[in-house]
Amino acid sequence: MEKNESSLTSLISAFGRAYHSKHDTPKIFDDFIARELITKKEFCDIRENMIKGIQFFNNEIAEKFQDHPDEILKWITQVQLSPTPLARAAYCENVLFHEIVLGAEQYVILGAGLDTFCFRNQELNNDLEIFEVDYPSAQDFKKKRLADANYQIPVNLHFISMDFTTDFIMQNLIDGGFMPHKKTFFSLLGVSYYLTKEENGNLINELFTKVPSGSSIVFDYADNELFEEKGVSNRVQNMVQMASASGEPMKSCFTYEEMEKMLEDSGLLIYEHLSPVAINNQFFGDRSDYLSAFETIHYIHAVKK
């Protein structure tokens, strides 16, 4: 991923979180800091580009709301952009807080982008060491945005520069202050689809080779309907097509049995699995807007035996 692509991906993700925080009720995941990491021009540019692209997503909506750009933006954001990032972040952080109560002392965020957990939860600064793993360019970009927004980097936040998708090196984490003997929680959100099955298995194995029993991970994955399912308003098909057009095609999907075996091979057991139906029930119930759980996307919390 090039620097501009990395920055754009993180900005669009932050845009979705910022939009939800300001406009949607009830909140699924309230990232009230995300808006501060996007410039006014970037926010307007992303907004306008999405509105102009409505015909790619849905011609009927384009025609119905041709004189109502804010409704078009709401539709694109709530149907296509935000459902999975919002719900998986909410699920991940819910699990994390539970794991902290159970003794987790380290949190490793793989592919952190413009994640704001550390700044939304400063009461944990003395209790939790946080390691953000991402491309060097992505981290430089984030540090500048934090500085521009007058956020100081706390002592418990560590930036680990690495392309973990192709060559995860545990020693890089250790050199950055990570302690392998401490109970650790990992998050791997929005990544598994872009790795092959073998690459996913190798990464999970590397993550858990040295950490103690009870350490765990939350991640999302696509089931074996990924390349056949169209989804509401073709949103799954759109997602696959957009990933391919951007030069980062989706490479893997799993049956539950395949996922279970991959994790078992690395000494992990599935503690909790949320299907699309379960995700919808847990995070999208009783809504009157467009938000609903994405088809084919599942969440896993797996724990080292």
What is the percent of the chain where pLDDT is above 70?
98
Token pair belonging to 272: 């909790």
Query: Helix, strand, or coil here: 110?
Result: strand
9-13, 89-93, 216-220: least confident range: 9-13
Confidence (pLDDT) at 9:
84
pLDDT single digits (tens) 252-274: 999 999 999 999 999 999 999 99
Q: Is 153 exposed, middle or buried (0-12, 13-18, 19+ CB in 10 A)?
A: middle
Q: What count of residues does the chain have?
A: 305
Q: Is 287 exposed, middle or buried (0-12, 13-18, 19+ CB in 10 A)?
A: middle
Identify the CATH assignment for 84-304 out of 3.40.50.150, 3.40.50.1110, 3.30.360.10, 2.10.260.10.
Answer: 3.40.50.150
Is residue 83 within 8 A of residue 284, CB to CB? The reply is yes
CA–CA gap between residue 44 and residue 163 (Å, rounded) = 31
CA–CA gap between residue 206 and residue 5 (Å, rounded) = 27
pLDDT single digits (tens) 129-167: 999 999 999 999 999 999 999 999 999 999 999 999 988
Q: How confident is the model at residue 5 (pLDDT cuts 50, 70, 90)?
A: low
What integer is the mean pLDDT of 107-113?
A: 97
ω into residue 180 within 30 of 0, thus cis? no
**Residue ranges of domains in the chain:** 3-81, 84-304
Per-chain mean pLDDT for the chain: 96
pLDDT single digits (tens) 244-255: 998 999 999 999
Confidence (pLDDT) at 2:
46
Helical (H) or strand (E) element with 131: strand 129-134
